[in-house]
Amino acid sequence: MTRSTWFMLLLGAPAIALLLFGPRGAVHIPQGRVVVRYWEKWTGVEAEAMQRVVDEFNETIGHDEGIWIEYSSISDIDKRTMIAAAAGDPPDISGLDDRMVAQFADLDALLEIGDLVREFGIDGDKFKPTWWNIGEYKGGLYALPSTPFTIALYYNRAAYRAAGLDPDRPPRTTAELNDYAVKLTKKDERGRITQLGFTTSPLMLGWWHWAWPFFFDGQLWDGDRLRIDTPESRASFLWTQERRSRMGISAVESFESSSGAIEGAQNPFISGRLAMVFQGPWMSNWINHYNPDLDYAVAPFPSVTTERENVMASADVFVIPRAAPHPREAMRFLEFVMRQENLEEVCRAHCKVSPYRAPLERFEKDHPNPFIHVFDKMADSKYVFTCPRAPMFPEISQAMLVVLLDVLHADDPAKVDVAIEKGQRTIDLIVDAHQAKAARRAGR
């Protein structure tokens, strides 16, 4: 063989190997089935849990009724669903977050599924009202809860003991939480924080940086205006500023910007450098993985008084885009998924709570979060709040993040007022612009 033949073989061999042994293409879809495209944001074990439900459906009901669910893990699912919907080719089911429902529903991009839900026998009364209502917008039902969660206070019991605090008595008010946070904060000889009591920095949170006014019995959105300059909101921002002043703002900022990502082994709560954190039930999955010996407990996050237990609730949800080609087949699948035994399998794999009023016995028994009952009970509170159902909330959320960042940086309460005032102006502009657009559309 010539040198060039050898060279061609050398180049061609990997290609042939890839064809023979490489990844296979799409799963074979049996003939005659209606293909229902289901896009979901989950990956890893979370996606595997749903894939098991999909497989079971395809083998049983799907086989009998000629439906095939094609499950795809999609990143940036909100953007892709939106672009696909705009192009007239949306999936039949999309797995969004509850905070996107208002924005999508307001644009008439989602199917109102109330009638379909009743027709397919999904009984909303079996679900806790917190979770069932999370898919509602302006009186219509646009989403079903898939994996819900509340957000609670995780605290390090060993750190409590070391600071002379009772590990069985977490803080009961926001003022008490500040006192605990200061007691739990330790510094080295250079003044650098080695253990921080608590922080409201967005670096240590998810996307719920806007939640604090609710713990001061406040509301953000009244259906028309969104206000962060109310006495309750102001109290929440001052609460943050007061705590940071007592702990030393520059030392806290230095600690925060040095801490690792919340989703990993460097998470300062998991590594024992942060004594308390406001997080969801999935955090136990990370603790079990990275530091199973961590001595911690979970309690409802305190409110400004003990009279009201304000609770933050959120959920991943299923929606059917308005232009979905197979809404009835999609709802047939959702009816299967929403069966308690199926949905709770998924919720447990996601380390979240069950949306059902009475979870099955095995749900809590086998749950990876030993405190799941705390999260579950919190959803029963009369004072549950969710992401404001304002259609322009994604933009407002960013404006509120900027306010919080300014407050975190404020070394004087007067600067808090400046940040609130500036933020309120920005929010007013956003709301006004949205309402002007809505009026233009209405008068078209």
Partner 1 sequence: MAVSRTSLGVGLLWIAPWWLGFMMFLAIPLGISFYISLSEYPLLQPPLFVGAANYSTLAVDPVFHKVLYNTLLFSAAFIPLSTAAAIALAILVNQRLPGQPFFRACIFAPTIVPLVATAVVWMRLFNPETGPINETMAAAGIDGPLWLASPRWAIPSLVFVSLWGVGSPMVIYLAGLQEIPETLYEAARLDGANSVGRFRHVTLPGLSPVILFNVVMAIINALQIFALPYILWDTDPGPERAGYFYTSYLFDNAFRFLKFGYASAMGWIQLLLILGLTAFVFAVSRRTVYYRGA
Count of residues that bind partner 1 according to CB under 8 A? 35
Tally of CB atoms within 10 A around 134: 26
The reply to whether 202 sits near partner 1 by the rule CB under 8 A is yes
Among 47, 61, 297, 401, binds partner 1 (CB under 8 A): 401
What DSSP letter does each residue of 44-89 carry, written as one string? HHHHHHHHHHHHHHHHTHHHHHTEEEEEEE-SSHHHHHHHHHHTT-
The reply to whether 426 sits near partner 1 by the rule CB under 8 A is yes
Q: Helix (H, G, I), strand (E, B), or coil: what is residue 94?
A: strand
The owner of tokens 């933050």 is 312
The reply to whether 257 sits near partner 1 by the rule CB under 8 A is yes
Which segment (136-144, 288-296, 330-338, 391-399) binds partner 1 by CB under 8 A?
Answer: 391-399
In the shown chain, the binding pattern of residues 291 to 310 toward partner 1, with x for contact by CB under 8 A and - for none, equals: --------------------
Among 384, 392, 407, 416, binds partner 1 (CB under 8 A): 392
Bridging pattern class, strands 93-97 and 136-137: unpaired
Among 38, 104, 286, 336, binds partner 1 (CB under 8 A): 104
The reply to whether 82 sits near partner 1 by the rule CB under 8 A is yes
Closer CB to partner 1, 185 or 310, in the complex: 185
Which segment (3-11, 29-37, 252-260, 362-370) binds partner 1 by CB under 8 A?
Answer: 252-260
Q: Distance from CA of residue 158 to its chain's centroid?
A: 28
| First-last CA distance in the chain | 76
Q: Could you tell me which residues come within 8 angstroms of residue 202 by beta carbon, excluding any fewer than 6 positions away?
A: 209, 401, 404, 405
The reply to whether 406 sits near partner 1 by the rule CB under 8 A is yes
Identify residue 413 by its one-letter amino acid code.
Answer: P
Closer CB to partner 1, 70 or 253, in the complex: 253
Closer CB to partner 1, 320 or 353, in the complex: 320
Bin 66: left if φ > 0, else alpha if -120 < ψ < 50, else beta.
Answer: left
Token pair for 278: 């406001």
Among 79, 126, 169, 339, binds partner 1 (CB under 8 A): 79
245: number of CA atoms within 13 Å, CB side? 14
Q: What angle do CA 161, 163, 168 make, to 5 degrees?
A: 40
Interacting residues toward partner 1 by CB under 8 A: 79, 82-83, 85-86, 103-104, 107-109, 192, 202, 253-258, 392, 394-395, 398, 401-402, 405-406, 409, 425-426, 429, 433, 437, 440-441, 444
